[in-house]
Amino acid sequence: MRISVSSDMDEPVARSLVAALRERGHEVRTHGALRPGDDPQWAVCSEAAAREVADGTADQAVVCCWTGTGASIAANKVPGVRAALCTDAYTADGARRWNDANVLALSLRLTSQPLLTEILDAWFAGEPSADAEDRQNVDRVRLLDHGKTRM
Ligand SMILES: O=C[C@H](O)[C@H](O)[C@H](O)COP(=O)(O)O
pLDDT tens-digit readout, 5-62: 999 999 999 999 999 999 999 999 999 999 999 999 999 999 999 999 999 999 999 9
Write out the E strands in 1-151.
2-7, 27-32, 60-65, 83-85, 103-107
Q: Which residues contact 66 (CB under 8 A, 6 or more apart)?
A: 8, 9, 107, 108, 109
pLDDT greater than 70 at residue 90: yes
- Pocket flag, ligand 1, residue 65 (CB < 6 Å): yes
Q: Give the Cβ contact number of residue 27 at 10 Å.
A: 12
The pLDDT of residue 151: 65
Distance from residue 41's CA to the centre of ligand 1 (Å): 8
Which of 55-59, 63-67, 102-106, 138-142 comes out lowest in average pLDDT? 138-142
Residue 41 in contact with ligand 1 by CB distance below 6 A: no
How far is ligand 1, taken at its centre, from the CA of residue 46, in Å?
12
The domains located in the chain, with CATH, are 2-145 (3.40.1400.10)
Query: What is the model's pLDDT at position 126?
Result: 87
| Cα atoms in the 13 Å half-sphere on the side-chain side of 6 | 34
Q: Which whole number is the average pLDDT over 136-143?
A: 92
**Taking 80 as the threshold, does the pLDDT of residue 149 lie above it?**
no
pLDDT in tens, 108-136: 999 999 999 999 999 999 899 999 999 99
Task: Let me know if 65 is a catalytic residue.
Answer: yes
Mean pLDDT, residues 77-94 taken together: 98
